[in-house]
Structure 1
């Protein structure tokens, strides 16, 4: 499979009524309740597809990532969730991609790659599971194929505070009010991904950028000082 050139990039398809309604409802309810604030969202291009990679703090992560953006995110979810009455229909309306755990990994990668090529922003949590203590865990290399073959930017993002609102250990999935901070780091260009080398080098590159964005989000939450940005080297500024 060959990577598309930037000239082949397609504009994002319409977000859809489900996303528009959900975002409006969440801005009214979840945003003030969770205290979501973000910096760097303007770094996410609105005119082409891309890969959004963030640390995984909570079931709230898709919400806190989507609220600061002016475009929808196509997330990946296990196919069993689509069998839940009403919720499954909602996931489909939100353009969520079903991935079967017992299916070949290439099937899920093809679906996500096709979405990026259609101009969609595909969101993944490369740790593979929610954090147990709020820290960033090691990344799994499954995203590397998408980063290499899509020919689109990779957007590293750091989330802080969602874990405190709804930790993995909580038996009832009811969030408490909080102060969630989201930092969109410096995008990683397709050429930078290619130049990084092998799979583990690309994982290390992305992990470093997510770690820098996460550290900036943690400091912002703890000190109240909004970060001025995350520079091209991945260091908080």
Structure 2
């Protein structure tokens, strides 16, 4: 068992008694090939929750500062995280994400770029569309439906994979693709908030 699998099991064991996870759509998650998981963002625990409940290992970007901390700099890469410099266009991080997708891995992304304070989905940043177009991967929209309150149900929905081929063939813009992804996330939120 590698460190990622160990950590995934440990975090699930720690969080599952507190947040009663209800996971929907895992069976539709692609079993192989590159996948870009795009989720809404409502809480600091969103990355580990998406990670432990996805059926495959997920790679996340993490802020560069974490990789400069004495202990974390050795630990975080083993947890499938890679650094990104915030507040600028980080070409190295972008290349890393695209290469991970092209190599058949799963990359997790929060297109809003920051947490939503009111739970409403905010507009997505063009980076999501950029990775979706360049990564040669399916996109899996995801919705986290809270609240993050002890012993309350926390719902995580993985939508059906979106094939990006038609967008690539007609050379759609990154902004257009991001908008299409955000619409799919919104559909999941609307459908499953009331159920």
Query: Structure 1 regions of 5+ residues with no counterpart?
Result: 1-15, 166-174, 221-237
Deviations 1:103-136 (A, max 9, x none): 5333221110111122210001000001111111
Whole-Å Cα distance in 1 between the matches of residues 173 and 127 of structure 2?
13
Contact 1:182-1:217 within 8 A present in 2 as well: no
Deviates more, 1:194-203 or 1:51-60: 194-203
Using the size of structure 2 for normalisation, the TM-score is 0.90
Q: Secondary structure at the match of 1:32?
A: coil
Instruction: Identify, as 1 or 2, the structure richer in strand.
Output: 2
**Cα distance, 1:37–1:139 mapped onto 2, change above 3 Å:** same
Equivalent in 159, 179, 185 of residue 204 of structure 1: 179
Contact 1:34-1:180 within 8 A present in 2 as well: yes
Equivalent in 82, 106, 126 of residue 97 of structure 1: 82
Mapping for residues 4-15 of structure 1, pairs under 5 Å? none
Equivalent in 106, 126, 129 of residue 121 of structure 1: 106
Shift of 1:187: 1.2
Q: Which has the higher contact order (CA 8 A, sep 6+)?
A: 2
Q: Secondary structure at the match of 1:29?
A: helix
Aligned to 1:137: 122
The count of corresponding residues between Structure 1 and Structure 2 is: 194
Q: Secondary structure at the match of 1:119?
A: coil
Deviations 1:146-195 (A, max 9, x none): 1111111011001111xx32xxxxxxxxx744321011112110224335
Using the size of structure 1 for normalisation, the TM-score is 0.75
- Across the aligned residues of Structure 1 and Structure 2, the Cα RMSD in angstroms comes to 1.9
**Cα distance, 1:38–1:104 mapped onto 2, change above 3 Å:** same
Whole-Å Cα distance in 1 between the matches of residues 24 and 171 of structure 2?
27
Structure 1 segments of 4 or more deviating over 6 A? none
